[in-house]
Amino acid sequence: MMVAVASIPPFETFYAEHAAEVLALLRRRVGRERADDAFQETFLRALRAYDRLHHGAHLRAWVLTIATRVAIDTHRRAGEPTDELPDLAHSDGRPAYEELAFLTDTLPSKERAAVVLRYGYDLDYEQIAAALDSSAEAARQATSSGVRRLRRRIT
Amino acid sequence: MTVPTDLDRRFREAAARSQLLDAAYDVIDSELGPLLAAVTDRGLARISFDPEPEQELESLALLAGRRVLRSPRALDETRSELDDYFGGRRTAFDLALDMRGLPEFTLRVLSELAKVPYGQTATYGELAERAGNPRASRAVGTVMNRNRIPIVLPCHRVVGSSGDLVGYGGGLERKERLLRLEGAML
């Protein structure tokens, strides 16, 4: 079977395509004042992880997840509550994670992001690790511990 | 909504400082029109006369890696040497060059090319001879045509055996203007 692999664009193209949406998300999540620093942090994390990507599919979901993680870190540093949903906006139709939302809403944020990226977007652990700013092994563990938690709740 | 210019600029500068970029580029205004110039950690990798960014970005990504970003600050040194050159204040460049991936004959030809002085010309045949293969003038023409770093590697100084300009990747008009700028006899 032929598998179409989405190629990974030069970083400039990726940045130009997603910068405005990332900034809008961050302004909603951390406020205008803190959004600038969070914006820079988001794209530096993406840049750091960019050569670990294996394909260019779901780059939008990937960078919005990074932005969400940065927003959570920003709140955490300020000692504010962090239990918000991943905020993957909906301009390209019904996002895949919605199908998992009823299950994943109650997971801790890191496990939720890992489960959604793994099973909602079919990203591999390297890419999830890049989004979560952690190792592939840690991403695998967050995913499987999220799945275990879901199983306990369902059964 | 668009990203404010100042925030965009600050990210591009931080990215260049982070040492995470495989290549940084900018579009530089010059006497010959806009030039796309790109640097890597090894040095200047590309000067292009007709910047079609999309295609240039793809070929930079192939050469150096995918982390290619426009970052004007990273091109400061290149821009200033080019400005001086076009202003007639500089006759040789002090920029490190990224020559990765080039075959040995090409490297020999380009290193001979780099020795052709400002304001002078050499023929394709002479360059072939200096590169150790006197019969390869046609191949030298191909190397000139594919020169990734024109102006700095002065392929405009290479002319036909009867003194005619023959050809130039950036168009004959640009070749003539560069030679006139340098005061070469035409």
pLDDT in tens, A21-77: 999 999 999 999 999 999 999 999 999 999 888 888 889 999 999 999 999 889 888
* Closest B-chain CA to A53: B66
Rg (CA), chain A: 15
Q: Does residue B110 contact residue B162 with C-beta atoms inside 8 Å?
A: no
Mean pLDDT of A99-115: 76
User: Distance from B164 to chain A by nearest Cα, in Å?
Assistant: 40
What is the reported pLDDT for A149? Answer: 85
Greater confidence, A5 or B73?
A: B73
CA distance B149 to B107: 13
pLDDT at A76: 86
Least Cα separation, residue B6 to chain A (angstroms): 10
* Predicted confidence (pLDDT) at residue A86 exceeds the cutoff of 60: no
Confidence label for A94 from pLDDT (cuts 50, 70 and 90):
very low
Q: Could you tell me the pLDDT band of residue A147, with boundaries at 50, 70 and 90?
A: confident
Nearest CA in chain A to B7: A36
pLDDT score of B74: 95
Below-50 pLDDT ranges, chain B: none
> Of residues B155, B158, B159, B179, which has the active-site annotation?
B155
Contact criterion met (CB < 8 Å) for A43 and B8: no
Neighbours of B103 (CB within 10 A): 9
Query: Could you tell me which chain A residue has the CA closest to the CA of B56?
Result: A10
pLDDT of residue A90: 44
pLDDT of the residue at A102? 63
- The pLDDT value given to residue A120: 72
| B108-144 burial: b if 16+ Cβ within 10 Å, else e | bbbebbeebeeeebbbbbbbbbbbeeeebbebbbebb
Average pLDDT, stretch A89-116? Answer: 66
Nearest by CB to B69, which of A12, A36, A51?
Answer: A12
So what's the pLDDT on residue B8?
97
Given pLDDT bands bounded at 50, 70 and 90, which one contains residue A89?
very low
Q: What is the pLDDT of residue A85?
A: 46
Is B67 within 8 Å of A50 when comparing Cβ atoms? yes
Per-residue model confidence (pLDDT) at position A154: 67
Query: Residue B1: which of A24, A44, A48 has the nearest Cβ?
Result: A24
pLDDT at B70: 97
Average pLDDT, chain A: 82
For A:36-65, CB contacts with B below 8 A are 36, 39-40, 43-44, 47-48, 50-51
Instruction: Pick from B1, B3, B40 the residue to mutate for testing the A interface (most A CBs within 10 Å).
Output: B3
Contact B20 A15 (CB under 8 A): no
- Give pLDDT, residue A107: 82
A130 or A29, which is more confident? A29
H or E, element range at A15: helix A11-30
Q: What is the pLDDT of residue B85?
A: 97
pLDDT value at A93 more than 60: no
